Structure 1
Amino acid sequence: MDILWYVVGRDGRYPWDPKWTRPVDLDYLRALTTSIDARGYSGALFATQPNGGLDPFITAASLAAHTRRMRFLLAIHPSIFTPSQLVKLTTTLDQNIGGRLLLNIVNGHTSLAPAGIHLAHDERYRRCDEFLDVYRRTMSGETVDFDGEFIKVKGAKAEFPSLQKPYPPLWFGGSSDIAMDVAAKHVDKYLTWGEPPPETAATIKDVNARAAKYGRKLGFGIRLNIILRDTDEEAWQAAQHMLDSASDDAIAKVQASNSKQDAIGQVRQAAFHGGTRPKSARDLEIYPNLWSGFGLLRNGPGIAVVGGPESVAARLIEYKNLGVESFILSGNPFLEEAHRFADQVMPLLPLDNSWQQPHAPSAPYAWQTAPTPSQPRIDAAAAG
């Protein structure tokens, strides 16, 4: 197992409530990422919105020098990039941060209209298929000509190499048939939002079968929220407080936003809670220690693991035994809960630390090995 934490430009004990929202600036992000780096997490997912919020590349570049080991998993909407743009950003950042870059390819969930993108669900995935074809070939050293439905390039090539070969690993999420087909064809790790283990097992089996048709084998990751306390009883009390903290209006706004999404994963998340707040938080326990109530309070992944350290660890290990290797976790507030999880649950998990092995030095650029005219030696003392 390897454990990543979560970073986004909104945090607080109850970030959906303005009274509990804390400012997220560079100083706060530095405190969060240095904690993630120091406490044994293998990295963090830097989430993004296509129409605002933190830019993941600039954020990672600003923070990497303050860390030593952690990997930066950056959420990327390919619909707002050209393949060549992403090649340039990827190779530059991967070189600059010592081969610690990962990319999470995102196509659904959030409306792209504010970014000027007006593609229907399946169109986004068809474009992503073409995009990843050109991107992977270019990153692998080819000079690419491509004339597709959405992508048309001639002579695309990577001027500089990435440190990781042939390119930083590609992670990808999507629950529709077309999404899983694109993942099977192109990516290294399939990332699913939290669902009960039987549903997760079925997803893994499905994606594995699709990948096998291409002669490929994928890794698997899962995105889960965590409500961790010293005991199960205290954790469920915290879930109740969280549910009670949100106004009816706040919940209604989240559900109205979710209902406009065409992402299949969002539809599946909504089915676990039905859009209605119960009186008792535990009425939304859909599997031992799994709570769907988080989906009433926020967009995106809405399942939380609720419990004391042993219960949380047991549930994560259950997912691990299904074939999940990577876990992207979060608790609110991010900073305090990152320490709580590291203190109380990580010692109970069979962690894989192979990600900490350094990458081999990159090959020199062509201009670094080309013959240069001889230069007269400058004596430093004489030069002053």
Structure 2
Amino acid sequence: MELAYLRHLSHESVPLFALVRTTLGCVLLGPDGVAEIAARIDGRLPWGRADLLSRLTRRDGAVRRAESDLRRFALARCRPKRLAAMLARHLPEGFAYLNVGHSNLTALTLRAVRQGGAGRIAVLIHDAIPLEFPQYQRPGVAEEFAGRLQRVRAHADLVIYNSADTRARVEAQMQAWGLLPPALVAHLGVEPAVPGALPTGIDAERPYFVVLGTIEPRKGHDLLLDLWEEMGPQAPGLIICGARGWNNAAVFARLDALPADGPVREMAGLDDAQIAALLQRSCGLLFPSRAEGYGLPPMEAAALGVPVVSSDLPAIREVLGNIPVYLKESDRYQWLSAIESLKTGHKTQQLTVSGADFIPPTWEDHFNLVLRLT
């Protein structure tokens, strides 16, 4: 999503600047610097060598090189307390500040942006999950997230929400702190990748399902592992795509104990084309998530014409309507029945036809809404 914003705003008629927090302070990129960094993020140019400052302060080699290039192409740099002065010196008066990543929403940054000459501050909020489901978070995350929302309420001229459901849930939290800022709902664009080659070792002739997303407690991987254990040796394949997250030691231990020749496989680090190929040839996407602010995987699967079985979540219904099969996350019988039906093809044709009618939201529509008000 942040990359979509970078690509789109780079082609607008107004100049684009970027504010980046690094280990050693704040970096401001001008339009030329933004273009250089964007080319490296896209892979069109390689990242440069780590400079001395990065070698002294960072252990991660990739971050060393990225922060070094940020300094090389910087229009200006400063310590956080000098941010307002730096922005006032280098940016046009009345600039618009867009924050779309839940990061840098500190009181210091937001005040400095305003004092530095911002005419308008817009923030995109993805969900209220840390406050509604603190049991799925690392210690302290819920409190930290509440602070972010409080600062957004106090400083933002516009809050952008990815779904009406997210807006309702976040504003239910915000209203306890005072007046609500103006808001806009703009669905995120869905751009399914062009399918490439299947990952090595996948037998396309054997029925299999895909689950896609970070392996964290709210995503429901534990339910799927239980179902596959219950189905036993005759179970179809289950391909688990996504990086390992947090607070999920029991699931990680079960994944580590999977037999190499079993039906369940964990495949991290796949590129978009490989994931699209896996989805396109699968019996369907399984999405037993317990909470979502938007839910891109079901939308990407539906855009490819792939059957979707999902927990019954308002954000998914908001965009996909009646295309998926919706199930209670806790009803194992329903999940087993849906998996069996799709494996044997009883529901595949009906769901695929429904999916063919899905017109996914576009980034063009998203930006037409957002930029009109920012």
TM over 0.5: no
TM-score by length of 1: 0.31
Larger relative contact order (C-alpha < 8 A, sep ≥ 6)? 1
